[in-house]
Amino acid sequence: MSEQRIIRPTPISGFPEWTPEIRSVEQRWLDHIRAGFERYGFGSVETPSVEPLDVLMAKGETSNEVYTLHRLQEDNAADDSEARLGLHFDLTVPFARYAAQHFNELVFPFKRYQIQRVWRGERPQEGRFREFTQCDIDVINPDAVPLHFDAELPQVVHEVLGGLDLPPWTLRLNNRKVLQGVYSGLGVTDPLPVLRAVDKLHKIGADGVRQILVDELGMDTDQARVCLDLAEINGHDTSVVDEVAKLGVSSDLLTEGLDELAFTLDGLRELPTNTVLADLSIARGLDYYTGTVYEATFDEDPGYGSIVAGGRYADLAGSFIRRSLPGVGISIGFTRIFAKLVAEGRVLGGPLSPARVLVVVPSAERRGEARATAARLRARGIATEMYHQADKVKKQVRYASRKGIGHVWFPPFADGHPHEVKDLATGTQKETDPDTWHPTEQ
């Protein structure tokens, strides 16, 4: 061994990395989500990992810390075109830029999914990563997007997450027009500060919110009470509409919002009972939503933060194009979900090899036969590994078993002898034919 210095590698905080058996599960989950998106006709978009800083900052205030790129050899700066590039912190800003840039090449309504890594220069903590994968779907269309999509999107998410053995979770649904309609019915002229105050309800409690509404925003105690009463309303069906009506406040915006909320709830009635909750406390305070809003948390650990979020926006790409592009979108916080379950030991590792069968080499003379067998199996789409080391058959079988390969194939050990295959799960070994054999279901 050389005497060179050893750099002992250690995990980097906030940048998750999985061992092969966990990665094989992550991959299966991502495939499952992608297949679900495609089953509803969403097509893939990918964007570069970076955007110019003026694009990332186009919306002004962002609570997200951006990583900028610099070349290690800064002296080589003849070309400064990358001087102001940052890694994207979500998939919405890049999608907005993409939609504007490729506007004339898109067919509308444009339905895209985007599964990519994003980066945030945050202090890592439970559920917060510096590099993580998001799975987004959005529908955009010039001028108007049918409200039916507001129900279709949670349905897609419910279907894809439903296949993944997650602990129970609830999708909370609201409509900003209801909140803003109540506030304007109360005579509030600028509803956004109220929205953001109410959004802190779960963090600072009713007294804290009341204090902001009264002391900072100048509401009287009756107005503040209505805002807090509104936030207390939730339910699994359209009875919530009646409860809001009982607050005794009215405005055109409120009527419109309640109609939309009832319509969306009704569109989700086929989902299992109690998985969707109309919750009038959901505001998504800092996001640019103008109608429906979504937010999902684990029932057993709502404090862990939202695992799914989204909503309807009046204009996606106003910073980049003079064309109204309303839409509705929803995002699955994939890594936040997956990493929690891994950390809690609730992800059972998958097989270490995608191969379904290991072809052993009985002897050097029979290697050609073994190779031909493997080729025939692969030609039939069966993932097949060959054991190239000149080890005893027992060791080859042990390798298959350790890698999670379910079957071991024995090519004829002499001319005229049959192929045999062993099912490692049952231990049975029998004669077989590489042109007709199928692996048993895993």
Choose, by CB under 8 A, the member of 15, 202, 220, 239 that binds a second copy: 15
User: How many angstroms separate the CA atoms of 84 and 90, rounded?
Assistant: 18
The answer to whether 17 contacts a second copy (rule: CB under 8 A) is yes
User: How many angstroms separate the CA atoms of 244 and 238, rounded?
Assistant: 10
The answer to whether 41 contacts a second copy (rule: CB under 8 A) is yes
Choose, by CB under 8 A, the member of 38, 344, 365, 435 that binds a second copy: 38
The answer to whether 42 contacts a second copy (rule: CB under 8 A) is yes
The interface with a second copy within residues 364-393 (CB under 8 A) comprises: 375, 378, 381-386, 388-390
Q: Residue 2 or 416: which CB sits closer to a second copy?
A: 2
Q: DSSP secondary structure string, 184-241?
A: HHTT-S-HHHHHHHHTTHHHHHHHHHHHIIIIIT---HHHHHHHHHHHH-EESSTHHH
The answer to whether 442 contacts a second copy (rule: CB under 8 A) is no
Q: Residue 22 or 219: which CB sits closer to a second copy?
A: 22
Q: Name the β-bridge partners of 147.
A: none
User: How many angstroms separate the CA atoms of 350 and 347, rounded?
Assistant: 9
Burial of 264 (0-12, 13-18, 19+ CB in 10 A): buried
**What burial letters (b/e) apply to 363-381, b meaning 16+ CB within 10 Å?**
eeebeebbeebbebbbeee
Choose, by CB under 8 A, the member of 83, 90, 109, 285 that binds a second copy: 109
Contact 260, 177 (CB under 8 A): yes
CB of 388 to a second copy, least distance (A): 4
Q: Residue 246 or 394: which CB sits closer to a second copy?
A: 394
The answer to whether 85 contacts a second copy (rule: CB under 8 A) is yes
In this chain, which stretch among 5-13, 188-196, 210-218, 434-442 interacts with a second copy, using CB under 8 A? 5-13
The interface with a second copy within residues 201-230 (CB under 8 A) comprises: none
The interface with a second copy within residues 298-317 (CB under 8 A) comprises: none
The answer to whether 157 contacts a second copy (rule: CB under 8 A) is no
Q: Please, what sign has the CA dihedral across residues 274, 275, 278, 284?
A: positive
CB of 374 to a second copy, least distance (A): 9
Strands 308-313 and 292-298 come out as antiparallel
Q: Residue 219 or 317: which CB sits closer to a second copy?
A: 317
